[in-house]
Amino acid sequence: MILKTQIEGQIIVLGNNIDTDQIYPAPYLALTDPEEIGSHCLEGLDKNISKNFPKGGIVVAGTNFGCGSSREHAAITLIHMGASAVIADSFARIFYRNAVNLSLTPVICKGISQHVKNGETLKIDLEKGIISDKDTGEEFKSEKITGQPLKILAAGGIKKYMINKLAKEKAE
């Protein structure tokens, strides 16, 4: 199992309806260098976010995170920026699935964006469905990741999941 069941990191807090063009603007879609891709993450909101993002940090957002076009680049750029997880009040469905498929942990926690501040440190316990604010001591109940999304994340993404599944079927 590749999925870390506990993730801890310093956070940046974003608003509601952050769309894929804000996460990864269209002019950069042809880039292939991972470091360069990560350097343009969230540039549609602020050109300095990726420069100041803490390694292993966590993005916290309001409702409908990842709305807009269905580009998987939005999840890819967050990974290359160094995000260990994204917590949101809610996700656009296509972004959620792209994040899972690319092994970026998306955590739904309704209302969290209103209770945390930039720079605080959160600890996510995926098994318990609890997010702890290490600075304030507050705890928040998150939705647990279950079923197929959990299996895909645990495998390290959809490619590894399918390789393992096909190898198992072939062996039977």
Residue 55 is part of a domain; what is its CATH number? 3.20.19.10
Q: What is the pLDDT of residue 77?
A: 97
Note down the domain range covering 40: 6-171
Q: What's the total number of domains in the chain?
A: 1
The pTM of this model reads 0.94
148 falls within a domain = yes
**Per this entry, what is the length of the chain?**
172
How far is Cα 106 from Cα 131, in angstroms, rounded to an integer?
13
**Which residue stretches of the chain have pLDDT < 70?**
1-2
Does residue 129 belong to any structural domain of this protein? yes
pLDDT at 4: 84
Q: Is residue 1 part of a domain?
A: no
Predicted pLDDT of residue 120: 98
Asked whether residue 66 is domain-assigned, the answer is: yes
Question: Does 45 map to a domain?
Answer: yes
Classify residue 15: in a domain, yes or no.
Answer: yes
Helix (H/G/I), strand (E/B), else coil: 74: helix
Question: Is 107 a member of any domain?
Answer: yes
Q: How much is the pLDDT for 71?
A: 87
Provide the 10 A C-beta neighbour count for residue 167: 9
